[in-house]
Amino acid sequence: MEPGCREQLDFARTATIPTRDHALNCANMTKISRPTAKKAQQSQEATNPHSPVMDFDAGKPLHLDSGVSLSPFRIAYQSYGELNADKSNAILVCHALTGDQHVANVHPVTGKPGWWELLIGPGKPIDTDRYFVLCSNVLGGCLGSTGPASINPETGKAYALDLPIITIADMVRAQAMLIEHLGIKQLFAVIGGSMGGMQVLEWASSHSDKVFAAVAIATGARHSSQNIAFHEVGRQAVMADPDWKEGRYLEAGTVPRKGLSVARMAAHITYLSETALHNKFGRNLQDRQKLTFGFDADFQIESYLRHQGTTFVERFDPNSYLYMTRAMDYFDLAAEHGGRLADAFAGSKTRFCIVSFTSDWLFPTSESRMVAHALNAAGASVSFVEIESDRGHDSFLLDEPEMFSTITGFIRSAARAKGLLPS
């Protein structure tokens, strides 16, 4: 669910984190939190990104699910590899909740490698020597596509909460306009995990003829009540921070650092598993021999989570976090089709590959199985693989050889069927 999680799951590093620097010290709560240099750079990315952008002006408004039209709007994207002559080798990567378009290049704010470089690159399962790989920052995001940190042309100030609510279908509509603008009639494949997987399912459902193959990983056709609950905790944490300023923190020159950190800490737990936490941290103490009988970060897990929270704030816009979580909460593909999920895929000629992980409790296998059964009922071509892993939801971002062999086999077979590879 998180770019750079590969690095963040390098738990050994946490042992050296000076906890006091990162502590969410309650005493600081009343002090105004000012942007750091890195934070300023992130804000810069929202309006002036290190990515190509596509601007859609008044002639091409985006009709949102909320009934509002958004115009103008901008999509920032990255691409890798070459589009072939008949534009048939394009693969769209859809990013997760706090991800971005920097899927296979160094991140402009964090300086870390792309979040899916294990999967995407020359000679990788998604081979950029063979395919044209495209990844756009979702609508509502904060790395260059129109989002709450973008300037509202009507006011000259950041949209903040004046941006209409964005849904998964809205994100996909914007991507479809980008694809059309690039002259791509059909994507060879759409692939994504978590919220990215939701976009994949939405693509395959609402733009079926434009998707030859779809890979949806660690995801579901809806957000469960428990998932909505966790998101609500995160949103309330952001909004309870006095530095949030009713969403107008950019003008106030503040950062709701504590709120977004807490939101991230809570969410991060849901991306892991109890086994992974226990194996890596147990009840180990952080830089100390015994308990301090206070509220400092005595335990390694506390220190680790605080670090996750503070680093997240540096690279993510708090209002964007509100919009992204809401988009996931609203997603319910069956509800859009009279309550019958199979109808979302009726007549689909798309080839599907659904992947889940045994220890993922955020999007458990049962959610993926529901999608697989619906695809069966719709007579669609579907592969469904559950992969044994104790690393929880974030497994999809990690080195999981079985996931790679699954995706490699699926993509190769689809490429043969589409004539991109000799059969």
Binding site for other proteins (CB under 8 A): 351, 353-354, 369, 372-374, 376-379, 381-388, 402, 405-406, 408-410, 412-414, 416
Give dist(CA 353, CA 177) in Å, integer. Answer: 25
Whether the CA torsion 28, 33, 34, 39 is positive or negative: it is positive
Give dist(CA 44, CA 78) in Å, integer. Answer: 17
Give dist(CA 111, CA 123) in Å, integer. Answer: 23
Whichever of 266 and 417 has its CB closer to other proteins, that residue is 417
Whichever of 119 and 142 has its CB closer to other proteins, that residue is 119
Give dist(CA 355, CA 214) in Å, integer. Answer: 11
Minimum CB–partner distance for residue 382 and other proteins (Å): 6
Give the pair of three-digit tokens for residue 419: 């004539």
Whichever of 326 and 351 has its CB closer to other proteins, that residue is 351
Minimum CB–partner distance for residue 181 and other proteins (Å): 32
Lookup result for tokens 């809205």: 170
Give dist(CA 360, CA 389) in Å, integer. Answer: 8
Is 181 one of the annotated active-site residues of the chain? no
A 10 A CB-CB count for 370 gives 16
Give dist(CA 28, CA 20) in Å, integer. Answer: 12
Is residue 136 within a helix (H) or strand (E), and if so which, with residue range? strand 132-136
Closest CA to 103 of 91, 88, 89, 113: 113
| Bridge partners of residue 93, in order along the sequence | 135, 191
Residue spans of alpha helices (H) in 316-354: 318-330
Minimum CB–partner distance for residue 339 and other proteins (Å): 16
| Span between the terminal Cα atoms of the chain, in Å | 35
Is 393 one of the annotated active-site residues of the chain? yes
Minimum CB–partner distance for residue 373 and other proteins (Å): 4
Reduced to 3 states (helix: H, G, I; strand: E, B; else coil), residue 105 is: coil
Catalytic, out of 22, 359, 393, 395: 393
Whichever of 396 and 410 has its CB closer to other proteins, that residue is 410
Is 278 one of the annotated active-site residues of the chain? no
Minimum CB–partner distance for residue 379 and other proteins (Å): 5
Minimum CB–partner distance for residue 356 and other proteins (Å): 9
CB within 8 Å of 85: residues ≥ 6 apart: none
Give the pair of three-digit tokens for residue 1: 């669910």
What crossing angle do the helices spanning 225-240 and 257-271 adopt, rounded to 10°? 160
Catalytic, out of 360, 368, 389, 395: 360
Whichever of 248 and 369 has its CB closer to other proteins, that residue is 369
Nearest 5 degrees, angle CA 141-CA 315-CA 181? 30
Closest CA to 170 of 63, 251, 253, 245: 63
264 is in an annotated binding site: yes
Minimum CB–partner distance for residue 341 and other proteins (Å): 11
Whichever of 186 and 381 has its CB closer to other proteins, that residue is 381
Lookup result for tokens 């599907």: 352
* C-alpha R_g of the chain: 21
Catalytic, out of 33, 51, 88, 194: 194
Beta strand spans in 255-345 (E):
none
Whichever of 285 and 346 has its CB closer to other proteins, that residue is 346
Annotated binding site: 264, 394
Catalytic residues: 194, 360, 393
> Which residues does the annotation place in the binding site for substrate?
264, 394
